[in-house]
């Protein structure tokens, strides 16, 4: 099944409520807003890739930085637009592997693991090269994604990965999920199934959604960044800038644009 997860208007409509109050969505905003304020002080504007419903974009604009958010989901952008007015943020429907904007930015962001939606090395490089093209000399790129957790992945590799588990029941709708990892393809297939039940617990309707991510290891990312003209400034283990260690659940990257190396 093709990954159309974020194209679904029902996913877009429920996105903010679903992610509100999580540790990661609480802690990432001040980190990205802080970087954006630094760019704004220097008179530079900010570009956010895969901005979704504007969860990070809107606080950046509220902090006084000029920001453009791009996303390839009309449904997610519609929610973002409904929460803002005026020309800051600017919302653009575009793919993060092929966008082409007139403006040049001091800072580019790819928050909340969105880089993992790029499923091939070619797409990862295309995205980083688009970012490079859109940054001013010395401009910065900040992004985060999860640190592949081998113990958790191993748990899903056996029978558990073939079995759906009930995660919640809201009214008459039961949500089931399943996660399947492929260590050879470095992919995570996340499947969601919503079943609506009658009073007699008969299934009235069933909606399937799926999302595929390609997880990325630390040194793979270092190579990708170097190949596409970035120098790593820092790799943090969380948004409070603690060091990246064996215990880190997240990789929080800060990189700086330099000249693209000779091929």
Ligand X SMILES: C[S@@+](CC[C@H](N)C(=O)[O-])C[C@H]1O[C@@H](n2cnc3c(N)ncnc32)[C@H](O)[C@@H]1O
Contact footprint for ligand X (CB under 6 A): 6, 50-52, 55-56, 71-73, 76, 95-97, 111-114, 117
Nearer Cβ to ligand X, position 44 or 97? 97
Closest approach, Cβ 156 to ligand X, in A, equals 20
72 vs 248, which CB is nearer to ligand X?
A: 72
Question: For ligand X, which residue has the nearest CB?
Answer: 52
Using the minimum distance from each CB to ligand X, give the nearer residue, 174 or 215: 215
Q: How far is the CB of 172 from ligand X (least distance, A)?
A: 27
- Smallest separation (angstroms) from ligand X to the CB of 196: 25
Encode the chain in three state secondary structure: CCCCHHHCHHHHHHHHHHHCCCHHHHHHHHHHHHHHHHHHHCCCCEEEECCCCCCCHHHHHHCCCCEEEEECCHHHHHHHHHCCCCCCCEEEECCCCCCCCCCCEEEEEECCCHHHHCCCHHHHHHHHHHHHHHEEEEEEEEEEEECCCHHHHHHHHCHHHHCCEEEEEECCEEEEEEEEEECCCCEEEEEEEEEEECCCCCEEEEEEEEEEEECCCHHHHHHHHHHCCEEEEEEECCCCCCECCCCCCEEEEEEEECCCCCC
Cβ proximity to ligand X: between 68 and 73 the closer is: 73
Residue with smaller CB distance to ligand X, 142 or 174: 142
CB of 190 to ligand X, least distance (A): 11
Closest contact distance (angstroms) between CB of 244 and ligand X is: 20
């Amino acid at each position: 099944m093709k990954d159309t997860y974020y194209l679904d208007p029902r996913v877009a409509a429920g996105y903010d409520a679903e992610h509100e109050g999580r540790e990661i969505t609480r802690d990432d905003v001040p980190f990205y807003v802080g970087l954006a304020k630094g760019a704004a002080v220097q008179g530079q504007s900010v570009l956010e890739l895969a901005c979704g419903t504007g969860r990070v974009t809107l606080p950046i604009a509220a902090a006084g930085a000029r920001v453009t958010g791009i996303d390839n989901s009309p449904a997610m952008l519609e929610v973002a637009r409904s929460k803002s007015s005026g020309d800051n943020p600017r919302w653009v429907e575009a793919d993060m592997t092929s966008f082409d904007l007139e403006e040049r930015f001091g800072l580019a962001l790819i928050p909340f693991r969105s880089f993992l939606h790029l499923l091939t090395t070619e797409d990862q490089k295309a995205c980083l090269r688009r970012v490079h093209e859109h940054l001013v000399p010395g401009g910065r790129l900040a992004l985060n994604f999860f640190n592949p957790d081998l113990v958790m992945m191993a748990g899903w590799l056996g029978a558990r990965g073939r079995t759906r588990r009930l995660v919640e029941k809201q009214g008459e709708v039961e949500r089931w999920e399943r996660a399947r990892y492929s260590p050879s393809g470095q992919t995570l297939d996340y499947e969601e199934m919503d079943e609506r039940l009658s009073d007699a617990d008969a299934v009235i309707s069933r909606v399937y959604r799926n999302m595929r991510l390609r997880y990325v290891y630390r040194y793979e990312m270092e190579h990708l960044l170097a190949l596409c003209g970035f120098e790593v400034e820092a790799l943090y283990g969380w948004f409070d800038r603690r060091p990246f260690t064996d215990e880190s659940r997240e990789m929080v990257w800060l990189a700086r644009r330099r000249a693209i190396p000779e091929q």
